Structure 1
Amino acid sequence: MEINFLALLVAAVSTLLVGFVWYHPKVFGTLWMKESGMTEDKMKGGNMFLIFGMAVIYAFLMGIILQSLAIHQWGAFSMVGGDAASAKPSYEAFMADYGTAFRTFKHGALHGFLTGLFLALPIIGTNALFEKRSWKYTLVSGGFWIVCFTIMGGIICAWT
């Protein structure tokens, strides 16, 4: 299977768009600032090009692993060691029967949602516990990643 780098890039950039809405002061921005200890002055400092650039790079890396979670055919591809040319005929038969099965935005969004709920939220929650952050912080930050993974999974599964 080939990696669709455009789909991964669009999925990564979608996290910025979700963030612009999610962390807007009229949505969760004010609550997040309060719960994280962030101030307007702290937000003005820093290299925003670097911050947003690294955020896209990190989201791109998340997208790489998300495609293997959202697209079932990656499992068959990985079982043959990533070399379809030397695979047994059973791989070709599987891909002929199921090559495009479950390759929809809806299916990818489901896997993205589950990844956010059962991977991202527990990671953020664990960090928040040790950082002595509130449950509000955990829900705002975890909710953000659940929404992001849902959208990313949909994009990646539908476009790849």
Structure 2
Amino acid sequence: MALELPVVNNVAVLVAAIVSMVLGAVWFSPQMFGKQWMKLAMKKMMPPKMGKQAIAAMKEEMQKGMMKGYALGFITTLIAAYVLALLVAWIPGTAGVALDGAMVGFWVWLFVAAVAFSSYIWEKEPLQLYLLKIGHVLVTFVVMGAILAAWV
């Protein structure tokens, strides 16, 4: 017996991905968590005795690759939204109910958070950095789940 994929609303997937990118821009903006994230991320990436010029050069290099990062980020977000839409469509009773879709997003987030926790453990990532990143994923998946369920 072959597994049949449910039909998903591709417009809803696209909207969920766009909303996710907007949430990311707000979450990581200097007004929210951007400054804290940058400080923690740079601390993780840089050797302890790196000079100010080297730090400035590293930041400049990061900014050069931003467009590629946004493009690849959008593609991976589209994939995540599509998979979440499949899950919402497969689970009975979630279609048309935003709160149920948000719950599906929460459970998917919990799975991702548990798997991502290993990077915190093994890579000795600062706990605050892990919490900032995984908090963003929580908000994103819950909102995407709500959008997808309401629109399925």
Q: TM-score normalised by the shorter chain: which range applies?
A: 0.7 to 0.9
Identical-pair percentage: 29
Higher relative contact order (CA 8 A, sep 6+): 2
Listed one character per residue, the Cα deviations across residues 42-88 of structure 1 (whole Å, up to 9, x for unaligned) are: 4322151x2212111101111222123333xx25xxxxxxxxxxxxx
Find 2:77's aligned residue among 59, 71, 90. 59
Structure 1 stretches lacking a partner, 5+ long: 76-97
Q: Which residue of 1 aligns with 2:105?
A: 112
Instruction: Check conservation: 1:121, 1:143, Cα contact below 8 A.
Output: no
Distance change (3 Å), C-alpha of 1:66 and 1:131:
same
Structure 2 stretches lacking a partner, 5+ long: 1-5, 46-57
After TM superposition, the runs of 4+ consecutive aligned structure 1 residues lying more than 3 A away are none
SS of the residue corresponding to residue 129 of structure 1 reads helix
Q: Which residue of 2 aligns with 1:15?
A: 20
Superposed counterparts of 1:9-158, under 5 Å: 9-37=14-42, 40-48=59-67, 50-71=68-89, 74=90, 101-103=93-95, 104-116=97-109, 118-158=110-150
CA distance in structure 1 between the aligned counterparts of 2:139 and 2:33, rounded to whole angstroms: 13
Distance change (3 Å), C-alpha of 1:136 and 1:42:
farther
So what's the TM-score if we normalise by structure 1? 0.74
CA distance in structure 2 between the aligned counterparts of 1:4 and 1:55, rounded to whole angstroms: 21
Structure 1 position 40, deviation (Å)? 3.8
